[in-house]
Each structure stands twice: as structure tokens, then as C-alpha cells.
Structure 1
Amino acid sequence: MTELAESTVTVVGGGFGGLSAACYLADAGADVRVLEKNDQLGGRASRLHAEGFRFDMGPSWYMMPDVFERFFGHFGREPGDYYRLDQLDPHYRIFFKDGDQCDARGDPAYMRDLFESYEAGAGAAFDEYLATSENHYETAMENFVYEDRSRLRDYVDPDVVRAAPVGLKLLGSMQGHVEKYFEHPKLQQIMQYTLVFLGGAPTNTPALYNIMSHVDFNLGVYYPEGGMGGVVDGVAELGSELGVTYETDREVTELTRRRDGFLVDTVGGTYEPDYVVCNADYAHVERDLLPDHERQYDDDYWEGRTYAPSAFLIYMGVEGEVDPLAHHTLVLPTDWDEHFEQIFEDPA
């Protein structure tokens, strides 16, 4: 990335992707500016303060701590230099529609006994499932997430070839994968509920996402002191130390390529960087910010895509504890299959 030295880069979008990209670019010597359309950094991890209450408007679980450690470690720092974490116990509480409830914890023995209480042999199956999930996670992270595989020849790399048999097994659905281990519908739901946050259904989400069980039960679930906004502030502070500048209330309206760089038009003025990194939603960038001749896909392509469903969120402040709810409570429906069918096959 030495060609970035002394160049100017505008990063569109101040979510975690944009903030982390800005850090790497600044570390490589670029003069980096982040433009965020909202009045605060964070993107989907924005925060709301109202009537004495503080809300995480997006994610409220801190997971995959190894990813954050790797990120900060690249710059000779660690997460603890910027924010403090508390491990959640339980991770969350699950309510089934028949009134049954259980807690998910990062204690393998507890979870093994819990699964066994629902189905004979499910405790051993849980151990086997987690071991497989861990193997898949490490394979995916080492060979794909942390490696650039943008060229076809990258896939004949020996590491990728060795991982191919595992990858082929993960082309099936999550539903089929989970059913190989557990018969009880409640256990299947516990292993599949994370797909809701991914915007998918058990029948249409690749089995690759079984890695989330390793993330959940092995790596643990945490919460940063002060909320997820504390992590946003930490990454932004690191960026400031590296020389990144931030501008909020700067919605980008158009991106134009020039012979010697780019024009970035915003509601607050125009910028002329050498490079642009766009962390806004892909469809929005293509359809709303780029001229037709710069797009990779036309409108017909985007109109034919299946987007992740939206959600109706209520930010409600309650004083004191509300039994029997936990800090994170999941209510799972009994009509599990019909629930997903209505969302993805027959949306109203």
C-alpha cells in the first residue's frame, strides 16, 4: 500500500467498516477523511440518548473478540486501550411460545446438560457440533476472511485446495446441517436463531453459518462499558491518533471519477480526493451515487435481488428490572417454518 503515501482518500460512511478502513489507510501514509451522513459516527451502531436513557440503536452484542484483537494489534494496540468489556452471563435468555425458557451460557458443561435434557444424546451431539463449528470457523477466517481471494487463480492456492472438501459440505442449508445433529425442534431453533440477524432463513442460508455457534458458545458474548458506542469511539480515537479526520452531517450525493482522482459531492460541499472508499450500502452506491457508465449492475439486477428484511424497533426505557426478562431476551415462535415462509416467500 506504499502508493497511498501522501495521497488523499475520502471514506464514505462512518460505520465500523469505514472507520477501520480509514485506520488502515492512514497507517499506510494516506491523508484520510471520513464523511458520515448522520450526526454521529457508528453507522448501524449508532446510539440514542432520550429522557435519561441510553440505547444501542443497532448491535448490542460484542462478538468475535478475536477480530477486534487482530484489528487493534495491527497498530500495536489492544481493545483494552480504548474500552472495557464485560462478559455476559447468561449470553441471553430464550422463551419458547409454550412458556418454556432456558438460558444460553458460555459454559460447555451447562449447555451439554441443557441439550441432553431436551433430547437423549443431544449433549454429545452438542460437543460434536461445536467442534465442527470451530473447525469451520478457523478454516473460513484463515483462508478467506483474512485473505484477498479476488482473482480466480487465488483459489488454486494449496490452503484453499485443502479447505475445499470442508467448503463443499457447507453449500447445503443450515436447516439440513442442524437436522443432522438434533431432532428436537427447540434445539434446532437455538442453533438457527442467529440467521434472523443475518437476514436469512434456515432453508436459504448456507451451512457455513454454523460458525456462529462457535462464536456464541466458545468465543463468548460481551458488552462494552457504556454500550456499543464505546467501541465506535475507540476505533475513531485510534483513527484520530493515526491522523484521520471525521466530518458528520455530510451526506454524499454523487461520486464522479476524473482523470486525476474523484469528485465527491455532499450536502455540505465538494471534495477532490485521489481515491474513494465507499462503505455505504452497495445498492445505494450503485443506484444513487454513481453515474450509469460506472455501475457494475443495472437497475434490473438490483430489483431482482432479495434484500434482508427490515425490522420494527421500539426503544423503550424501563426503570428497574423486569422479571423474568434478561438483558437480552429472545422469544421464538412455535410456527418456526411458517414464520420464515411468510417473510421470504409471501411478504405482505
Structure 2
Amino acid sequence: MMHKVPPRIVVIGAGFAGLSAAITLADKGYSVTVVEKNKEIGGRARVFEKDGFTFDMGPSWYWMPEVMEKFFNQFAKSTTDYFELKRLDPSYQVIYGKDDVLAVPASYQALKNAFEEIEEGSSVQLDQFLAEAEYKYNVGINEFVHKPGLSISEFMDVKVIKAATKLDLLQSFAKHVRRYFKSPKLLQLLEFPVLFLGAVPKNIPALYSMMNYADIKLGTWYPMGGFGKLAQAMHLLAVEKGVAFKTNTAVQSIEVQAGQAKKVITAQGEIEADVVIGAGDYHHIDQHLLPKPLRNYSEKAGIKE
């Protein structure tokens, strides 16, 4: 009796997206190889070591620790199996100018006191602002973020549709936050988190006040030993699941035949593939690795061809 050979999956990029995809697929029995151009695992969260010092090359702390904890829990693991996660206090500093610095305390009451010193009555406004933000966070995470997003039918649920009407999807974040606060300092503090989304507050939906809830109420956390500990933990789990890694291996192109990925071409040779997952830089994969007829965007126009 012949045993069916599992599909060969090649994941391009060993950042968090590539690692999580590789772990999940290997856990389901697929044969997975991760190809990474750098010698280190972690993508933009890799580390640089020099003279006994370790430097985070990208992120250095994170919010929403339950997201990563939930990921590891899927495989009967916990982040505590790999590293210690510590809440920072103060969370971070906001530097407004020379000798004008606000250390954002982990204690909510201490933060309310700091708000009140800057703008009278703002501590009460902060309560109301974060109550809305908490609702958006719970709905956004539980009803939207963890859905695969493969079909609109996933959201055809009375509960979800009703919740969506309260998420401020049409109002800008800039306008929303100004309903509660007037002080330029407080506005800068509260608008800071949405900059991670790659746009200015006036172009971001008010839904993303949920990031303020994550920041202020859920806290800022640091993996002891550096952010690379998280990438290292995912790497260890991937290896445990049987994922193969090829580092220092830059992908040159993806060979596609009859609409199906067949090979990943690298300087070191060819890797046979039934499925290729592009978890590296989107622009690079689309414009430089895919055959031109399969590219989604035009390099010149920046739009779908």
C-alpha cells in the first residue's frame, strides 16, 4: 500500500508571518521548508550581536501579549516555556521637546493623574474614551481579526453586523479623539499608536482607538533577553514540528507552470514546491520573484495591471 506524500510547501521569509505559517502547516502534516535570505531567523525582528551585546533590529516591545500566547497555546505551548515576559513601567516616554518628557506609567490611576495635570477634566474623559476603545478591541479581536477572511459569509452574522455598526468605521481617528481631549500633548500621546498602521490619524478609522486600549489598559511588554527571544521561540517550535530551514539563501525567482508553483530558485539551487507562501516583503516578491504575467501590481503605476 502506497502512502500519500504530503504536499511540499516552501515559505519565503523567516519573519513572524513565515514562522507562524510554517508551524501551523507542519502541525497539520505538511512538508515545510522555510527559505531566509539572512543568516538570522526573525525577519525584521532579527537581532544583531556584537562584542557581547545584543541589539534588536526592529521591534523592541509589544502590546496585546494574549495574541502570541494564544498562538503558542494552539500547540500545547506557552510563551513561558521559552522566555519571561515583563510589563514595563513606565511603558515608554513621550518626548515633546527639550526638558519636556512624559513617562507613561503602567498604573492606570497614575496615568489619569498625569492627564489631569495636563488638562483639567481629562481623566474622566479618558475613562469614557477607553470604555469605547475596550468595546472596539473585544469586538475587533474576537469577531474580525481571528476570522480567516476568505469569504464575506464569515461576517454574515446578526451579532457581528450589529457590533460593526458601533465600531466607528466611517469617522477618522483624529476627529474621534478630539471629541474627548483638547490638549495638544494628550492628542499627540493618544494619536501615537495609530502611526504603527502606516498612515496619519486623519486617514485612520476611529475603530483603531482599540490600540489605545491595548496600550494603556493591557500594557507594554518586553521579552527578557530581547525581542529576538520571541523569534527564537517560534523557531524552536517550528523545528520541533519538523520544519526545515535554509538561511543565507536568497530566493531569485519562483517558477510557475500551469498556474501552479513548481520551484523556488535560489543561488544555491532549486527547491521543488507544490505550494509557495510569500511571507517576505510583498513588493519584492510581487515585482522581483513572480513571473511578470502573475504580478498583481505595476511597478510604474502602483496599480493592478
TM-score (norm 2): 0.93
1:286 aligns with 286
Give CA-to-partner distance per residue, 1:270-325, whole Å, 9 cap, x none: 11111111111222211111112212233344279xxxxxxxxxxxxxxxxxxxxx
For the pair 1:238 / 2:246, whether they are aligned, the reply is no
How far is 1:77 from its partner? 0.8
AA paired with 1:151? S
How far apart, in 2, do the equivalents of 1:226 and 1:113 lie? 32
AA paired with 1:134? E
Give CA-to-partner distance per residue, 1:181-203, whole Å, 9 cap, x none: 10111000010112333322122
Could you say if the C-alpha distance between residues 214 and 5 of structure 1 is closer, same or farther in structure 2, counting changes exceeding 3 Å? farther
- Whether the 8 Å CA contact 1:91–1:221 is kept in 2: the answer is yes
Where in structure 1 are there 5+ consecutive unaligned residues? Answer: 305-348
How far apart, in 1, do the equivalents of 2:257 and 2:6 lie? 19
How far is 1:208 from its partner? 2.3
- Whether the 8 Å CA contact 2:88–2:222 is kept in 1: the answer is yes
Aligned-partner SS, 2:201 = coil
Aligned-partner SS, 1:203 = helix
For the pair 1:188 / 2:180, whether they are aligned, the reply is no
- Whether the 8 Å CA contact 2:262–2:275 is kept in 1: the answer is yes
How far is 1:59 from its partner? 0.1
Counterpart mapping for 1:304-315 below 5 A: none
Could you say if the C-alpha distance between residues 5 and 116 of structure 1 is closer, same or farther in structure 2, counting changes exceeding 3 Å? farther
Counterpart mapping for 1:324-339 below 5 A: none
Could you say if the C-alpha distance between residues 48 and 139 of structure 1 is closer, same or farther in structure 2, counting changes exceeding 3 Å? same
How far apart, in 2, do the equivalents of 1:261 and 1:99 lie? 57
How far apart, in 2, do the equivalents of 1:59 and 1:111 lie? 24
How far apart, in 2, do the equivalents of 1:170 and 1:220 lie? 25
Counterpart mapping for 1:2-151 below 5 A: 6-97=6-97, 99-151=99-151
1:208 aligns with 207
Question: Identity of paired residues, percent?
Answer: 37
How far apart, in 2, do the equivalents of 1:187 and 1:227 lie? 30
How far apart, in 2, do the equivalents of 1:298 and 1:149 lie? 25
1:163 aligns with 163
How far is 1:60 from its partner? 0.3
Of 92-101 and 220-229, deviating more is 92-101
1:254 aligns with 253
How far apart, in 2, do the equivalents of 1:30 and 1:75 lie? 15
- Whether the 8 Å CA contact 1:31–1:244 is kept in 2: the answer is yes
Where in structure 2 are there 5+ consecutive unaligned residues? Answer: none
How far apart, in 2, do the equivalents of 1:5 and 1:235 lie? 26
1:222 aligns with 221
- Whether the 8 Å CA contact 1:283–1:302 is kept in 2: the answer is no
Aligned-partner SS, 1:166 = coil
Give CA-to-partner distance per residue, 1:76-117, whole Å, 9 cap, x none: 111101111121111112221263222112211111111111
Aligned-partner SS, 2:254 = strand
How far apart, in 2, do the equivalents of 1:195 and 1:143 lie? 20
